[in-house]
Structure 1
Amino acid sequence: MIYFKVILRLCFALFHLVGNVHMYSIVKRQVPNFQWYQAGHVTSHKITEASGLAASRKHPGAIYTHNDHGGAAEIYVINALTGEKEATLTISGVTSNDWEDIALGKCHPDPNSGFCIYIGDFGNSGKGALNNIYRVTEPDDLSSQTIHVGSNDKLEFSWNFDDCETLMVDPSANLFIISKVSNGHGTIAQLPNSAWGSSSRVSLSSTAVVNIESGSNDPVGGDISPNGNEVLVKTHHNIYYWNLHGSNDYLATLQTPGTKLAYKDEPQGEAVCWDATGLGYYTLSEGQDQILYHYVK
C-alpha cells in the first residue's frame, strides 16, 4: 500500500509538471512576434522632442505627436507612411508645462461615443509636475486649426509622485498612468471615466506597481490596444507587452511580468503607440530628423 501511494504521488507530480510546461508553452505561443521597418522620417523642424504618439481612429494613416517640456501647446499630425507633418492642432485654454504622453480612445464610455485625443501634462520639467490631463475631440478634418479645451475637458489630479510619462486609455474611456521612477517599477493608477468634470483635484492612491526591469528612470510611455486586450509599456531601451485575455483588469495584469517585444534602439526613444488596427505599433525618438518605426506581425 505504501508503494502504491508513493507511485500515485509521483504520477501526480509528473502530471502537474507536464501541465505547467504545457501551459507555459501556450502562453509563449500567445506572445506575438513583430518585425520592424522604417515607415518614414519626421523631418519637420517643429518636431524635435517627440514624447508621445497616438494613431488616429478617424483618419486612417494619421498619427498624432507632440513635444515635451518647453514645447508649445500643439499637436502635430504626421503621415504614418512618410513621417511628413501634415497639420498642426493648436490647443488653447490649457497649459504646456511638460506634455509627456498622449493617448487616443473613446471620449465617453457610451459605445456610440466619438474619439478623443488625451494629453498628459504631468512631467517634471524641473519646475514640478502640474498633473493635468486634457482631452480634445478628434477633428473632422486634419487641416491646421485651433481647438479650445473647456473646463469639462480638464482633469486635475494629485498623487505621491513627481514625474510621469505614461498615459493610456481603455475602451471604456478609463485612464491609466504610471509614475516614472529610477528602477522602472512605477506605480500604476487609474482615473475612472467619471472623474471628468470634478471641481477639485482628484486624489489618487494605488499600490499597484508595473512589473518591468530597468536601470534608468522609466517607464517613458505606453498604450492600450484599440480592442483593449493588449498593453505596451516602453522604457528607454525596451518595450514590454501584456495580454489581458479578456479580463479587463489592467492593474492586476501589469503587475505580472511583462514580455519584451522587438525594439530598434533609438537615440532617445520615448514615444510608442499601437497602430489603428491593433496589429502593430509605432515608435519615434526625440531629436531632429528621426525615423518613424512601424512594427508588424
Structure 2
Amino acid sequence: MAGNSLWSCNDGGGAAAIYRIDTASGNVLQTVNLEDATNVDWEELSFDGTFFYVGDFGNNVNGARTDLKIYKFAFSDIPDYSTKPLATIPKEKIEIISFRYSDQLMPKASATNNTRYDCEAMVVDSGKIHLFSKNWVDLSTTHYILNSTAAGSYVADSVETMPTGYVVTGASKSPGQDIIVLLGYFPKAPGKHFMHILSGYSGGTYFNGNKRKLNLPDALQMGQAEGITFTNGSYGYISNERLSAGPFTIQQKLRSFDISNFVTISSKASASAR
C-alpha cells in the first residue's frame, strides 16, 4: 500500500512494471515501467514508506539462479496517476540490490519445484530486507536477512527456519505493530491456503514469538494466492494469480482480511503499509 492505492506486479515473463490498483473497482489506475529492468521472475513488491522494492528472486525452475536481485526506487519518482496513467522510472533512478544465500554456496540445478532456494516473500523492516524462502522440499520457510537496503551485492544470512506445512508465497508487516503475516498454500490439490500470524517476537528474528496458523480457502475458491499487504494495523488484502485447473478458471481478485480477532493491535498503528 502506498499513496492510498494498492500496488502489484506480474510474475515472471510479464512486463517489468508495477501497477497501481483501485481497491474499490479492482481497475488498474497506473502502469509504471522500470527502464532497463527485466522481469525474470518477479515475486514480491514491498514499500518502506519511501522506497519501493521489487523482488526478482523467483527460483522454482531449477533452484540455481545466480542473478537474484531486488530493484529499488523512490515512490516520489512516480508521477500523479491522474495526469500520467502510463509512466516510466528512468534507469538512473533505479538501484539494484544483488544477493546470494549464505547456505547455498554453489547453486546446483534441481527439478522444477524441488528446491529450498525459491523465494516469493519479502519484508523491509528497520533498514534491513527480510526474505522468507518458498521451500518446496520439506514445506518450511527459512528467514534470510540482508543487513542493508543500499545498492550493492550481499550475502543473505540464514537466521531461522520454521515448519509451515505449506509453501510461503507472500509476507507483510503490520504498520506500527510488531506483527508479521505469512501467506501460502499446500502444493497439491485442492491447494489449501494458510496464513501465519507472527507476534511477540524479539531480537531481530520473527519465529521466536507467538505463532498462529489460520486455515484459508482452497485454490478452487481463491486461486493461487501470492500477494498480501496491510492497509492499517489489522486490515489488508490478499491477491491471487489467475489459475486454470481442469474445467475451472479462477480469475485474479482482491480479498480483504482482518486479524483483529486473532492478535492484540496496539494504538500505535499507523495508516501506512507495504
- Regarding TM over 0.5, the answer is yes
Report deviation, 1:140.
4.8
Q: Percent identity?
A: 24
Structure possessing the higher relative contact order (Cα contacts under 8 Å, 6 or more residues apart): 1
Report deviation, 1:212.
2.2
Q: Residue 232 of structure 1 aligns with which residue?
A: 181
1:273 to 217, 221, 229: 229
Q: Residue 135 of structure 2 aligns with which residue?
A: 181
Report deviation, 1:257.
5.9
Report the secondary structure of 2:161's partner residue.
coil
Q: Residue 242 of structure 1 aligns with which residue?
A: 198
Q: Measured at CA, do residues 151 and 88 of structure 1 come closer, stay the same or move farther in structure 2, by a change above 3 Å?
A: closer
Q: Measured at CA, do residues 149 and 242 of structure 1 come closer, stay the same or move farther in structure 2, by a change above 3 Å?
A: farther
Q: Measured at CA, do residues 197 and 152 of structure 1 come closer, stay the same or move farther in structure 2, by a change above 3 Å?
A: farther
Q: Residue 45 of structure 2 aligns with which residue?
A: 102
Report deviation, 1:255.
4.5
- Tell me, in whole angstroms, the C-alpha distance in 2 between the residues paired with 1:289 and 1:85: 15
Report deviation, 1:211.
4.2
What are the within-5 Å matches in structure 2 for residues 39-118 of structure 1? 55-56=1-2, 59-60=3-4, 62-106=5-49, 115-118=50-53
Tell me how large the CA RMSD over aligned residues is: 2.2
Q: Measured at CA, do residues 228 and 141 of structure 1 come closer, stay the same or move farther in structure 2, by a change above 3 Å?
A: farther
- Tell me, in whole angstroms, the C-alpha distance in 2 between the residues paired with 1:207 and 1:69: 28
Q: Residue 269 of structure 2 aligns with which residue?
A: none
1:204-260 deviation line (CA, Å, top 9, x unaligned): 23241134222xxx1111111222511010111101101236x4x342x32456212
Q: Residue 137 of structure 1 aligns with which residue?
A: 74
1:156 maps to 2:89: no
Q: Measured at CA, do residues 261 and 124 of structure 1 come closer, stay the same or move farther in structure 2, by a change above 3 Å?
A: same
Q: Residue 223 of structure 1 aligns with which residue?
A: 172
Q: Measured at CA, do residues 238 and 141 of structure 1 come closer, stay the same or move farther in structure 2, by a change above 3 Å?
A: same
Q: Residue 157 of structure 2 aligns with which residue?
A: 205
1:31-73 deviation line (CA, Å, top 9, x unaligned): xxxxxxxxxxxxxxxxxxxxxxxx11xx22x100111111110
Q: Residue 291 of structure 1 aligns with which residue?
A: 253
Report deviation, 1:77.
0.8
Q: Residue 268 of structure 2 aligns with which residue?
A: none
1:123 to 55, 58, 75: 58
Q: Contact (CA 8 Å) 1:98, 1:125: kept in 2 or not? A: no
Report the secondary structure of 1:278's partner residue.
coil
Q: Measured at CA, do residues 203 and 80 of structure 1 come closer, stay the same or move farther in structure 2, by a change above 3 Å?
A: same
With normalisation by structure 2, the TM-score equals 0.73
- Tell me, in whole angstroms, the C-alpha distance in 2 between the residues paired with 1:270 and 1:250: 25
Report deviation, 1:93.
2.9
More strand by share: 2
Q: Measured at CA, do residues 184 and 150 of structure 1 come closer, stay the same or move farther in structure 2, by a change above 3 Å?
A: farther
Aligned AA for 1:268? Q
Report the secondary structure of 1:238's partner residue.
strand
Report deviation, 1:279.
2.3
Q: Measured at CA, do residues 105 and 149 of structure 1 come closer, stay the same or move farther in structure 2, by a change above 3 Å?
A: farther
Report deviation, 1:184.
2.7
With normalisation by structure 1, the TM-score equals 0.68
Aligned length: 221
Report deviation, 1:123.
0.4
Report deviation, 1:148.
2.4
- Tell me, in whole angstroms, the C-alpha distance in 2 between the residues paired with 1:80 and 1:165: 23
